[in-house]
Structure formats: structure tokens, C-alpha cells
Amino acid sequence: MKMISRTMPFFLLCIMIFSLPAAAIAQTPLTNMIFDDQVLLDGYTKKYSDFSKETLLAMIKDNTLTPYRSAAAVRVFQKKYSEEVVSNEKRKIEKILLRRLHRTDSPFVQVEIMYTLCQMDRYRYFKSMAPALTQKLNHYNATVNENAFNRLNKLIDSGSNRHQEARIIFNTLRKILFLSRKRLEAVKEPDPPLAMKLKLLRWSIKVLGNQELKKLPKEVIKLL
């Protein structure tokens, strides 16, 4: 059971459930779906897939929208429109996304916005957004971990193994892993969040070179 869902009033959960597309409800047992953040996000994403750019931007600006709906609106905008906006329109949309990012405390929304900004202007936003996305791998919510990891992988796949970007990822992971090195002493089989970090770490070392290994705590090296 996800903590974010456990603290949410039941009537809000009911509203979100019955607002989902019928297909999403039919394909998932109700007892699982109530507390499945990914199903809710995917359901709203499918529901909004035909929305216009203007409608999606209006939804992103709406302070009353639930985190699941807001995150889905950003995700659909990213998939359909983020790479086609240019010039003045691009700057206006970046301001809308940054305003929502600064005002939301939802990790679901934050992950989608940080990735979208990187997609819109990689050179401008990677340095600030990639570390923040990497930090989400430490979140208690498994869906946040998974989504952040998938977005980081997409950024890596769409790049050219740039040295500077690998350095940003490596330095962020190095700090995270140093802080948790005492807990790592007893780890024999990495759990999913740690496995995600190690996979990204291997990529960064592959780009930067094996000399980076000496900068890592010994507890991490044994897991690599």
C-alpha cells in the first residue's frame, strides 16, 4: 500500500477511480487499483491522450487539479507537443512548467515536469533537472522511483553519452551512495531502488572511465 494513497481521503480516491477510462477500471481489480499509483497515472494519461495543447497547458496551470491528473497532463504534453514548440511559445511554456514545479509538492508531477523541461531544452535544464530526477530514486514510493529511473534512461538514450552529462549523474549518485554506505555494508542483493542507481552508475563510469571507481565507497564497489 502506497503511503500517499493511504493518507488520501477515501472520497477523493473514489472520485479519481470513477473518472478513469472504463478500460482501465475493467482491466485492474478494484482492490489493487485504489492504491496503485501507476494505474491511476496511466489511466489519466490515456484519457487525456487526445487533448489539445491548449487544454493540457490549462490543466497544468490549474492549482485545483489532483497530482495524478496534473502529472498525466504534463506527460501527454511532453509526448505530443514538447518537441514542436519553438521561440516565444517555448519560453512561455517553460515558465508555466517551472511555476507548476515550484508550487507542487507532488513527486509524480515533479518527475514529469523535470523530464519535460530536459526534453524541451536539454542544454539549459539537464544540469539542474537530472540531479533532481536522480534524487527521486531515493523516494519511498516505488512508482516515483520507477518513473524517475525510466525518464533518466530516456534522457541517456536520447543523448550521445556526453561526458558532461555522465559527470552530473555520477556526482549525484556518488553523494547519495556515500550517505548510505553504512547501510550498504550488509547488502548482498540490491533492492529495486538500489539496482536502478547501480545501473545508472555503471553507465556513467562507462562514459567517464574506470578511474572513477576510486572515488566511490568500497561498499558500492563490491556491488558493482
In a domain, 61, yes or no: no
In a domain, 4, yes or no: no
pLDDT of residue 183: 86
Task: With cut-offs at 50, 70 and 90, classify the pLDDT of residue 188.
Answer: confident
Asked if pLDDT for residue 116 goes beyond 90, the answer is yes
Task: With cut-offs at 50, 70 and 90, classify the pLDDT of residue 30.
Answer: very low
What is this structure's pTM? Answer: 0.83
pLDDT of residue 94: 97
In a domain, 134, yes or no: no
Identify whether the C-beta of residue 114 lies closer than 8 Å to the C-beta of residue 132: yes
pLDDT of residue 21: 53
* Number of domains making up the chain: 1
In a domain, 174, yes or no: yes
pLDDT digits (tens, 9 = 90+) for 84-110: 998 899 999 999 999 999 999 999 999
Helices in the chain by DSSP H: which ranges?
3-6, 10-19, 22-27, 30-33, 37-47, 53-61, 67-81, 87-103, 107-120, 122-135, 142-158, 163-179, 181-184, 192-208, 218-221
H/E segment holding residue 83: none
pLDDT of residue 159: 87
In a domain, 183, yes or no: yes
In a domain, 170, yes or no: yes
For residues 143, 145, 151, 155, the Cα torsion angle rounded to the nearest 10 degrees is -170
Instruction: Give me the domain span that covers residue 202.
Output: 160-224
In a domain, 207, yes or no: yes
In a domain, 179, yes or no: yes
